[in-house]
């Protein structure tokens, strides 16, 4: 395994489009890092730059301390798992797993094999070593009983395991994953997420994973790299990114349902006024400088309250989710989401007073385009 370092890594395409802008990151040996962001934010381009599939316009990329800017993809000692499984349809699972290793054998000359017993012995030893590595990977992934099947006889989840196994047998310095679970159904995605975490724990491998699915990112990564428009917005643990976002983009992107935002102003006493409503937010918001601001409230922190407090909203829709209910609310032309326990009945079209709760999930942001976080609880 190896450490991966990117310093001011940039990618500019012909025509001037900058897909990645000044990417700086150090990924520790054995760390699981997830690049997450909306489509077109540059996360897959960054992964392909690490893999050597995309050239780097500026900056440096190092793997295991060695700068690899000019090193071919085949010589970087990485293994990549793609969104499409890219399995050879005419080969068995066993041959799919072993094909790359067989191609890399140091003893491949048929003529020398015919003439030299010692050469044949070395080839046999390498073949047996490959067979053992394939068997071990198949055991770890639970596909031992499928080695003689062809890909068309496998389910989507089984094909994904084969694609993982093909990377696993390589024993590379770094594993790269480009949205590998996006083609699976919801139940299989959850199962494969768990298997990937277990696999990472067993291998203690350096893994870099790309996804646009924030839930997938939160459950998989030791650290998340949130990207937008080619720029790194925040690098931190999933917990810290959720509870302490550095700006409005991160706060709105991470979390399901998305955070509610209300434009208004902070008053000298630390309260927040929007429209005809004034809210007392308490600590730590009293230290925020008065002026225009944006209040962010997680759906789980936007709670029903007594009449006359908070905002009087109209219930647009009631979405039942088993043990909880998502209420789609409308107030002064804007829509919000309130997530509450399914212990009370709500009627669509009725009025409901709501306010930010006293617990976590309430944030204040600057009102400008960047929206830097001013205070959080």
pLDDT at 111: 59
CA 84, 85, 88, 94: dihedral to nearest 10 degrees? 180
pLDDT at 16: 92
Spatial neighbors of 295 by CB under 8 A, at least 6 apart, are 261, 262, 263, 264, 272, 274, 279, 281, 356, 362, 363, 364, 365
pLDDT, tens digit (0-9, with 9 covering 90-100), for 34-92: 999 999 999 999 999 999 999 999 999 999 999 999 999 989 999 999 888 888 999 99
pLDDT at 121: 78
47-56, 145-154, 280-289: the lowest-pLDDT one: 280-289
C-beta separation of 195 from 229 below 8 A: no
CA distance 169 to 260: 46
Terminal alpha carbon distance of the chain? 39
- Which three-class secondary structure string do you get for the chain? CCCEEEEEEEEECCCCCEEEEEEEEEECCCCEEEEECCCCCCHHHHHHHHHCCCCCCEEEEEECCEECCCCCHHHCCEEEECCCCCCCCCCCHHHHHHHHHHHCCCCCCHHHHHHCHHHHHHHHHHHHHHHHHHHHHHHHHCCHHHCCCCHHHCCHHHHHHHHHHHHHCCCCCEEEEECCCCCCCHHHHHHHHHHHHHHHHHHCCEEEEEECCHHHHHHHCCEEEEEECCEEEEEECHHHHHHCCCEHHHHHHCCCCCCEEEEEEECCCCCEEECCEEECCCCCHHHCCCEEEEEEECHHHEEECCCCCCEEEEEEEEEECCCEEEEEEEECCEEEEEEEECCCCCCCCCEEEEEECCCCCEEEEECCCCCEEEEEC
CATH superfamily of 4-243: P-loop containing nucleotide triphosphate hydrolases (3.40.50.300)
pTM, to two decimals? 0.89
pLDDT at 115: 65
- Angle at the Cα of 255 (from 254 to 260), degrees rounded to 5? 100
CA distance 163 to 165: 5
CA distance 306 to 324: 21
Residue position matching structure tokens 């909203």: 313
Reading the block at residue 312, the tokens are 């009087």
Question: Between residues 234 and 156, which one has the greater pLDDT?
Answer: 234
pLDDT at 140: 84
Segment 130-136 mean pLDDT: 89
pLDDT at 182: 84
Reading the block at residue 276, the tokens are 């005809």
pLDDT, tens digit (0-9, with 9 covering 90-100), for 192-222: 888 889 889 988 999 999 999 999 999 999 9
pLDDT at 109: 58
Alpha carbon separation from 313 to 272, 322, 365 (Å, rounded): 18, 23, 23
pLDDT at 118: 77
**Positions of CATH 3.40.50.300 in the chain:** 4-243
CA neighbor of 295 nearest in space, from 225, 365, 215: 365
Reading the block at residue 259, the tokens are 């955070």
The pLDDT confidence band at residue 107, using thresholds 50, 70 and 90, is: low
pLDDT at 276: 82
- pLDDT over 60 at 94, yes or no: yes
76-80, 93-97, 282-286: the lowest-pLDDT one: 282-286
pLDDT at 275: 85
Q: Enumerate the β-bridge partners of residue 320.
A: 325
What whole-number percentage of the chain has pLDDT above 70?
97
Residue position matching structure tokens 């944030």: 363
Asked if the bond preceding 193 is cis, omega within 30° of 0, the reply is no
pLDDT, tens digit (0-9, with 9 covering 90-100), for 323-360: 899 999 999 889 999 999 998 899 999 999 999 988 89
Question: Between residues 195 and 123, which one has the greater pLDDT?
Answer: 195
**What's the mean pLDDT when you consider all of the chain?**
91
pLDDT, tens digit (0-9, with 9 covering 90-100), for 7-28: 999 999 999 999 999 999 999 9
Q: Enumerate the β-bridge partners of residue 10.
A: 58
Question: Between residues 313 and 269, which one has the greater pLDDT?
Answer: 313
- pLDDT over 60 at 106, yes or no: no
pLDDT at 112: 60
The pLDDT confidence band at residue 126, using thresholds 50, 70 and 90, is: confident
Q: In what order do the strands lie in the sheet with 373-376?
A: 277-279, 272-274, 260-266, 291-297, 362-366, 373-376
pLDDT at 122: 80
């Amino acid at each position: 395994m190896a450490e991966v370092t990117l310093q001011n890594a940039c990618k500019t395409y012909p025509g001037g489009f900058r897909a990645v802008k000044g990417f700086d990151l150090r990924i520790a040996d054995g760390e699981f890092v997830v690049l997450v962001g909306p489509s077109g934010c540059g996360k897959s381009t960054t992964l392909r730059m690490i893999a050597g599939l995309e050239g780097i316009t500026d900056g440096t990329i190092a793997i295991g301390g060695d700068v690899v800017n000019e090193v071919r993809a085949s010589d970087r000692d990485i293994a990549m798992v793609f969104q499409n499984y890219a399995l050879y349809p005419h080969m068995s699972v066993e041959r799919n797993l072993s094909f790359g290793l067989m191609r890399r054998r140091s003893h491949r000359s048929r003529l020398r094999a015919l003439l030299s017993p010692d050469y044949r012995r070395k080839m046999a030893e390498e073949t047996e070593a490959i067979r053992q590595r394939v068997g071990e990977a198949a055991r770890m992934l639970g596909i031992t009983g499928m080695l003689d099947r062809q890909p068309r006889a496998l389910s989507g989840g089984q094909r994904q395991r084969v694609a993982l196994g093909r990377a696993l047998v390589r024993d590379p310095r770094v594993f790269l994953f480009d949205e590998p679970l996006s083609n699976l159904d919801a139940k299989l995605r959850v199962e494969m997420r768990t298997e990937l975490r277990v696999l990472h724990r067993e291998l203690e491998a350096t893994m870099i994973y790309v996804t646009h699915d924030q839930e997938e990112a939160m459950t998989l990564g030791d650290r998340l790299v949130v990207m937008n428009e080619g720029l790194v917005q925040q690098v931190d643990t999933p917990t810290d990114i959720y509870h302490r976002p550095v700006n409005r983009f991160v706060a709105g992107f991470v979390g399901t349902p998305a955070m509610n935002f209300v434009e208004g102003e902070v008053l000298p006493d630390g309260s927040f006024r929007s429209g005809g409503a004034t809210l007392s937010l308490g600590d730590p918001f009293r230290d925020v400088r008065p002026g225009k601001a944006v209040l962010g409230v997680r759906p789980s922190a936007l709670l029903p309250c007594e009449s006359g407090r908070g905002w009087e909203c109209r219930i647009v829709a009631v979405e039942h989710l088993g043990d909880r209910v998502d209420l789609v609310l409308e107030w002064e032309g804007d829509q919000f989401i309130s997530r509450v326990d399914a212990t009370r009945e709500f009627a669509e079209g009725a009025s409901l007073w709501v306010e930010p709760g006293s617990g976590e999930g309430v944030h204040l942001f600057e009102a400008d385009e960047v929206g830097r976080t001013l205070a959080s609880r």
